[in-house]
Chains A and B, each alone.
Chain A
Amino acid sequence: DTGVSQDPRHKITKRGQNVTFRCDPISEHNRLYWYRQTLGQGPEFLTYFQNEAQLEKSRLLSDRFSAERPKGSFSTLEIQRTEQGDSAMYLCASSLEPGTGGEKLFFGSGTQLSVL
């Protein structure tokens, strides 16, 4: 069990650029979540997948954000035309399915995005 892995750990970009983050979940976990966290706040839900299917997406999520999990393993989160308000820690988490031990999330170390 190597844990949840996120890449990169840090990303600095200029406003208007596109960025993409990658998450590798724990191998046997079929659920994968993306959260965003800003200073002084708790993790805010963005979207989650069960296998390759995106089951839910936050209605607060701008159309500039898109996430994929094409083969039900790793996932990518892309932000297009970044804005300074996108600066945050982007957290990925994975879990088993509910009822099979999926009652808790295992988080990666996050990607810290800074938009200049």
Chain B
Amino acid sequence: DQQVKQNSPSLSVQEGRISILNCDYTNSMFDYFLWYKKYPAEGPTFLISISSIKDKNEDGRFTVFLNKSAKHLSLHIVPSQPGDSAVYFCAASVWGNQFYFGTGTSLTVIP
């Protein structure tokens, strides 16, 4: 029962362009959403988050958008840099109890 889904296993983007990573969820009780970045042989690193009471949160080059009616969120990276190449996981929780993760999207930024 995959409550958080990332339907694109991989994405390639030219350096300097925008990267858009998508995530869908099924549980309407989720009230907090997060994006994590993971390099090989390392644990995931927190990137950015958004509460369900907001529809946008921005932190430097990273912006997360939440569309509750569509149960969809996206991560925008502008401009994309080669160092952004990693696997990105979307996660969701109900009030910080048990976090559910998607299967990840592998981003490659081409110099």
Q: How many A-B residue pairs have CB under 8 A?
A: 64
CB-CB under 8 A from B51, the residues of chain A are 103
Nearest B residue to A97 by beta-carbon distance?
Answer: B96
**Residues A98 and B42 in contact, CB atoms below 8 Å apart:** no
Instruction: Count residues on chain B whose CB falls below 8 Å from chain A CBs.
Output: 27
- CB-CB contacts of B1-34 with A at 8 A, as 1s and 0s? 0001010010000000000000000000000101
**Does chain B have a CB within 8 A of A43?**
yes
Contact with B along A28-44 (1 / 0, CB 8 A): 00000101000011111
Please give the residue numbers on chain A whose beta carbons come within 8 Å of chain B beta carbons, in ascending order: 4, 6, 33, 35, 40-45, 48, 56, 91, 93, 95, 97-99, 102-110, 112
- Interface hit among B59-67, B70-78, B100-108: B100-108
A56 CB contacts on chain B under 8 angstroms: 97-98
Contact A105 B46 (CB under 8 A): yes
